Structure 1
Amino acid sequence: VGWRRTTLTEVARRAGVSRMTIYRAWPDMPQLLGDLMTREWGGVVTASVAAAGPDGPAESDPVEKLVAQVAATVRALRDNELFLRIVELDPELLLPYLLSRRGRSQDAILALVEGAVRDGQAAGAVRDGDPAAIARAVVLATHGFVLSAHTMVDDAVSEADLDEELRVLLRRTLAR
């Protein structure tokens, strides 16, 4: 039914717990949404990074490892059921995280990317520059690939084509 029409009472009923149980944990729907998105996106990132794993050429190349991890995360977020439902039914819920402030999930992602950039710089594989600024540029660039890739797919350009272009963009952004 979408986020706007969901109540904490409905959440409690669907979860099979009392309303007070829900109200003790979350005083309102925005707090519940924030916690839900943080948990969901954190799980997506963790699983994507692990799935992109350190096998093959990425194992010894910090740039390729980070490119594989970011690309896998973008794909996973783009295909995530909760994310798709929010975009389909309540896209305005994402606007504060794109226009006004960072969320906890974004901060966690930034920390992971910044750490990978620092490690890559220490190994001599990632270009010089402020790791925080580079990480933020990577996250900003990926926003479009997560949120808007579907608007750029047609008979001439596939989602796979765009995913490859993302990898090219990331390689060129990170490489020495």
Structure 2
Amino acid sequence: MTSLRHNALAVELARAAGLDPRLDPYLDAARACILDVGWRRTTLTEVARRAGVSRMTIYRAWPDMRALMADLMTREWGTVVAAGVRTGTIADGVVAVVRHLRDNELFTRIVELDPELLLPYLLDRRGRSQQAILESLTHRIAEQQKLGEVRTGDPGAIARTMLLMGHGFVLSLHTMVEDDLSEEALLDELHTMVTRHLAP
């Protein structure tokens, strides 16, 4: 996966979310722990051990694992968004973000072991990475409207509708796959839906 420090848009999103790049080594250590044993079995003490720093260094940055995890997900999903959201057409970008998220090893691990971590961002509130997606998508839709390449309408409402569609594909795509119907075929349908949704 492309390093956050080497991806200009990802850095931009991380800064907008208030993430301090000096914490990257600690987030890297946390990521490695979570990939090994899952979020529930990862402690701030273990993160400190893996990062080679004292427990107090980690505790000064985050009061608990939930706060650390929120920053890690913001950084991780920001990298995913940066890899896909500016790919080709808007429909290309939406499908790329869905694909990148579904292939992301941290996201896959969370879904497998700790799916409850995602529920607040689906049922209660938007997360920082969702907000970053909305802002980037809204801006791009507005730009394309000025060029006459996207239909008229509130770009924010259009972006939110597409994000809601994306949630279903990111989390549930595999449940709709059959022997005679692949993920790629369904992603092609998503591409068609977004293209037609935006057509002037």
Alignment TM-score > 0.5, same fold: yes
In 1, the alpha carbon distance for the partners of 2:173 and 2:53 equals 39
Paired residue type of 1:159:
E
Q: Residue by residue, what CA displacement relative to the aligned partner does 1:43-92 show, whole Å, maximum 9, x if unpaired?
A: 11112235x2xxxxx4xxxxxx1111111111000100000000000001
Paired residue type of 1:10:
E
In 2, the alpha carbon distance for the partners of 1:16 and 1:175 equals 53
In 2, the alpha carbon distance for the partners of 1:48 and 1:139 equals 14
Gap runs ≥5 in structure 1: 53-57, 59-64
- The match for 2:50 is 14
Q: Residue by residue, what CA displacement relative to the aligned partner does 1:82-126 show, whole Å, maximum 9, x if unpaired?
A: 000000000011000000000000000000110011011111111
Say yes or no: does 1:76 pair with 2:100: yes
Identity over the aligned pairs, expressed in percent? Answer: 66
Question: What TM-score comes out, normalization by structure 2 length?
Answer: 0.80
- The match for 1:28 is 64
- The match for 2:145 is 121
- The 3-state SS of whatever aligns with 2:190 is helix
Say yes or no: does 1:40 pair with 2:90: no
Paired residue type of 2:92:
A
Question: What TM-score comes out, normalization by structure 1 length?
Answer: 0.90
Q: How many residues align?
A: 164
Say yes or no: does 1:87 pair with 2:111: yes
1:7 is displaced (CA, Å) by: 1.0
Q: Residue by residue, what CA displacement relative to the aligned partner does 1:100-156 show, whole Å, maximum 9, x if unpaired?
A: 000000000000110011011111111111111000000000111111101111202
- The match for 2:154 is 130
Root mean square deviation of aligned Cα: 1.0
Paired residue type of 1:42:
G
